[in-house]
């Protein structure tokens, strides 16, 4: 089909591709002409143990279907080794999907350093190491696509997942900066927060829900973002699951602006407290506020009498 999105001649690295979402990406890209590095350490969902069959089985499946794939069994902390597998087998790398992941769910109160450290190692160090190893190739060839994997837990918080939440929101900041640094080299980087049935979600969701959260339904978004025809979309956050895909963005409230003089007091801020969270005329920023412009506006504000009484917690008070 000539109208298919295809990836012929391209090399795609998918980390954690031995199962779940990663396997869905790997088999898709291979079916559309890409050579795929199927990386998977093959441990448990808690990050214990390792086994080669996770990656090997997906490689066999791809080859049996007539596709091109090579296995890599490294932990994502060894990004160099994973990218080397791409170079050694296929001579290049075009797309990196940072997908490998584990869970160490436990309440903050009971969390051990090991639960925190292991999550950081796999998600944060892993995404860094893989992108770091791919980056010189991307820059040199002026082409690269990176998709990293956040989570609703990272965007919104989630009981028992403060380690995972921190590591997952880290993917957002990481992506936003790589997108800014990579754009002029045609390296486009985006981050997704997926929901899909996998061994990871099998423990927390009932089967009838999981039936409607197929990993394959996440693939179209990743396919579009990773394709050469995407020349603009970068530094973006997407929610994807159950067939629904939507972009998320930051929203900035109107904000309180204080006069930069002797009225720059906590009391002056309390008088304008509602403005701090007034989202009636929002901005959708992709960078910090224009502080120089705000300073100019602040000079024009009338001075606040510092001894004016105000409403604070329902009481009239004198706060300066």
Q: Which of 10, 18, 70, 304 binds ligand NAI (CB under 6 A)?
A: 18
d(CA 262, CA 264): 5
Residues touching ligand NAI, count (CB under 6 A): 32
Q: Could you give the dihedral angle defined by the CA atoms of residues 305, 309, 312 and 317, in that order, rounded to the nearest 10 degrees?
A: 130
Residue indicated by tokens 């007091």: 265
Q: Which of 163, 198, 234, 304 binds ligand NAI (CB under 6 A)?
A: 198
Residue nearest to ligand NAI (CB): 20
Report the nearest approach of ligand NAI to the CB of residue 268 (Å): 43
Asked if 253 and 56 count as a contact pair (C-beta separation under 8 A), the reply is: no
Q: Which of 67, 79, 182, 194 binds ligand NAI (CB under 6 A)?
A: 194
C-beta closer to ligand NAI: residue 40 or 115: 40
244: contact with ligand NAI by CB under 6 A:
no
Q: Which 104-123 positions form the footprint of ligand NAI (CB under 6 A)?
A: 122
d(CA 287, CA 179): 13
> Crossing angle of helices 53-64/20-31, nearest 10°?
30
Report the nearest approach of ligand NAI to the CB of residue 53 (Å): 11
C-beta closer to ligand NAI: residue 85 or 263: 85
Residues with a catalytic annotation lie at 164
Q: Which of 67, 79, 101, 144 binds ligand NAI (CB under 6 A)?
A: 101
In sequence order, the β-bridge partners of residue 241 are 195, 244
79: contact with ligand NAI by CB under 6 A:
no
β-pairing, 187-195 with 144-149? parallel
Region binding ligand NAI by CB under 6 A among candidate stretches 88-96, 193-201, 230-238, 262-270: 193-201
Closest CA to 76 of 114, 121, 138: 121
- In Å, the largest CA–CA distance within the chain is 80
43: contact with ligand NAI by CB under 6 A:
yes
59: contact with ligand NAI by CB under 6 A:
no
Residue indicated by tokens 């441990």: 43
């Amino acid at each position: 089909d000539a109208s298919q999105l295809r990836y012929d001649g391209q090399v795609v690295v998918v980390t954690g591709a031995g199962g779940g979402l990663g396997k869905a990406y790997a088999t898709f890209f291979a079916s559309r002409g890409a050579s795929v590095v199927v990386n998977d350490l093959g441990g448990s969902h808690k990050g214990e143990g390792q086994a080669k069959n996770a990656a090997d089985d997906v490689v066999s499946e791809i080859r049996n279907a007539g596709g091109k794939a090579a296995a890599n069994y490294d932990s994502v902390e060894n990004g160099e080794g994973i990218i080397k597998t791409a170079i050694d087998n296929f001579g290049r790398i075009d797309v990196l999907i940072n997908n490998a992941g584990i869970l160490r769910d436990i309440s903050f109160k009971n969390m051990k350093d090991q639960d925190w450290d292991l999550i950081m190692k796999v998600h944060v160090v892993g995404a860094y190491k893989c992108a770091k190893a791919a980056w010189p190739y991307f820059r040199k060839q002026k082409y690269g696509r990176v998709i990293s994997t956040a989570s609703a837990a990272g965007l919104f918080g989630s009981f028992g997942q403060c380690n995972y939440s921190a590591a997952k929101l880290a993917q957002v900041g990481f992506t936003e900066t790589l997108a800014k640094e990579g754009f002029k080299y045609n390296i486009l980087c985006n981050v997704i927060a997926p929901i899909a049935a996998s061994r990871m979600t099998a423990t927390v969701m009932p089967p009838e829900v999981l039936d409607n959260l197929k990993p394959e339904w996440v693939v179209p978004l990743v396919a579009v973002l990773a394709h050469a025809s995407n020349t603009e979309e970068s530094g973006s956050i997407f929610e994807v699951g159950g067939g629904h895909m939507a972009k998320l963005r930051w929203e900035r409230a109107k904000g309180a602006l204080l006069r930069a003089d002797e009225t720059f007091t906590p009391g002056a801020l309390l008088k304008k407290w509602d403005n701090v969270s007034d989202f009636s005329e929002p901005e959708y920023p992709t960078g910090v506020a224009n502080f120089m412009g705000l300073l100019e506006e602040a000079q024009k504000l009338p001075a606040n009498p510092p001894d004016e009484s105000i409403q604070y917690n329902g009481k009239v008070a004198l706060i300066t």
